[in-house]
Amino acid sequence: MKALVFEQAGNAANVIQLKHLAYPRPAPGQLLIRVKASPIHPADFLFIGGKYRYQPKFPQIAGLEGAGYVEEAGHDSIIPKGSRVAFSKLGAWAQYVIVDEQDVVLLPDAFPLEKAAQLTLNPYTAYGLLQEAKVKSGDWLLLTAGHSTVSRIIIQLAAEKGICVMATVRHEEQKKELLALKAEQVIVPEPGNLKQTINELTKGKGIKAALDAVGGPLATEIISSLSPGGRLIAYGLLNPEPTSYLNTEFVFKNLMVKGFGVRGYVEALSHEEKTQMISHLVHSIGRAEFKLSPAATYTVDEFAQAFAYDHGGKVLLEF
């Protein structure tokens, strides 16, 4: 089978090789998945570079998630052969992957494959962040890195609940797409002017919660812009500069700042909570009007072109 393999940590363009490997064989309780598509995430490049929360074991097949069909299942499996599934598993960039049966998401046959391939990382992150934000209909929620895939999913999930989303972006031309996804406001923040802008756009109501993928001075401004009882959930590291705040703001306004990692969040869910999350996401994302289309798709043989794609949006590898 074809697989994208690396034997040392480094830049993906330099260390990834297309290799032909033996077909894996599932053990009891496992499924053999014929992979049809897998996304390329920033986290994939961190993993290949040896900078992710999990360290590679060489030789290592790259890739963190994907979707495909059950090629082989045990006689007592509750997921039959031929089922369409999504999965999260190290080594996803291969034609076949072994996954524990309990770790796959069984999908309707009509569930779009390009959405299935992206289901278990960014949508889980978006769902978890919304839960942690503890916002309700009518509340204002601020998103940084508003044009990211995670933010675009959050905007659509929040709109279902009547949550008012304000998203920050770096370029004016990014506004139109987010407004079409039902963001209430999209802004290109000017340094030092964010609090005033938020006050004007929310008519003095303020931001109940913020989901921050940036950090640094922008997060400092956001903290000052939170309404009493507000919270900031940090989940990204785009700016390595420190964030600062005054204790008086936290104490007098009863604010909360919390970190978020999707793996830890999902692992802490009960079986019922995880089932509810998956059911909600499959229903919402499976709708035709929910936007989760890749910006580009390449075959596994075209992996070099896929790595070099730099026009924004998610890239998929087809196997």
- For residue 74, pLDDT beyond 80: no
Average pLDDT on 240-269 reads 93
316 band by pLDDT with thresholds 50, 70 and 90: very high
- 297/184 same-domain check: no
Q: Are residues 136 and 166 in the same domain?
A: yes
Residue 195 domain-assigned (yes or no): yes
For residue 144, tell me if it sits in a domain: yes
CA pair distance 14, 74, nearest whole angstrom? 39
Q: pLDDT value at position 157?
A: 98
Local confidence band at 6 (pLDDT 50, 70, 90 cut-offs): very high
131 with 95, same domain?
no
* 125-171 residue pLDDT tens: 999 999 999 999 999 999 999 999 999 999 999 999 999 999 999 99
Instruction: Name the average pLDDT for the chain.
Output: 95
**Residue 269 maps to a domain:** no
The boundaries of the domain holding residue 251 are 122-264
Query: Does the residue 152 lie in any domain?
Result: yes
Specify the CATH number for the domain of residue 105.
3.90.180.10
Total domains in the fold of the chain: 2
Residue 162 and residue 182 in one domain: yes
User: Cα separation of 285 and 269, whole Å?
Assistant: 21
Mean pLDDT of 164-191: 96
Amino acid 156: pLDDT: 98
Centroid of chain to Cα 33: 22
Q: Determine the pLDDT at residue 284.
A: 98
Look at residues 247, 264, 281 and tell me which one is the last residue of a structural domain: 264
Same structural domain, 151 and 33 = no
Which pTM was predicted?
Answer: 0.95
pLDDT above 70 covers a percentage of the chain that reads 100
Show the CA angle centred on residue 170, arms to residues 140 and 203, nearest 5°: 30
| 276 lies in some domain | no
Confidence of residue 249 (pLDDT cuts 50, 70, 90): confident
Tens digit of each residue's pLDDT (9 = 90 or more) over 21-69: 999 999 989 999 999 999 999 999 999 999 998 899 999 999 999 999 9
Task: List b or e across 86-112, with b for residues whose CB sees 16 or more CB atoms inside 10 angstroms.
Answer: bbbbbbbbbbbbbbebeebbbbeeebb
Asked whether residue 277 is domain-assigned, the answer is no
User: Tens of pLDDT along 222-241?
Assistant: 999 999 999 999 999 889 89
Cβ 168 vs Cβ 146: under 8 Å: yes
- Domain identity same for 12 and 108: yes
Distance CA(81)–CA(171), nearest Å, equals: 47
Task: Tell me: do 232 and 133 sit in the same domain.
Answer: yes
Q: Are residues 110 and 151 in the same domain?
A: no
Evaluate if residue 191 carries a pLDDT over 80.
yes
The CATH number given to whatever domain includes residue 213 is 3.40.50.720
Q: What is the pLDDT of residues 196-205, one digit of tens each?
A: 999 999 999 9
Q: Are residues 48 and 126 in the same domain?
A: no
Angstrom distance (rounded) from CA 64 to CA 100:
15
Note whether residue 282 is domain-resident. no
Q: Are 132 and 215 part of one and the same domain? A: yes
pLDDT computed for residue 75 by the predictor:
77
Mean pLDDT of 71-93: 93
User: Considering the domain boundaries, does residue 274 fall inside one?
Assistant: no
Q: Are 106 and 141 contained in the same domain? A: no
User: Is residue 194 over pLDDT 80?
Assistant: yes
Q: Which residue is listed with tokens 């290109």?
A: 188
Over pLDDT 90: what percentage of the chain?
A: 90
Residues 178 and 303 in one domain: no
Q: Average of pLDDT values for 246-268?
A: 94
Residue 312 confidence (pLDDT): 83
Q: Residue 140: its pLDDT value, please?
A: 98
Mean pLDDT of 299-314: 95
Q: How many Å apart are CA 30 and CA 79, to the nearest integer?
A: 10
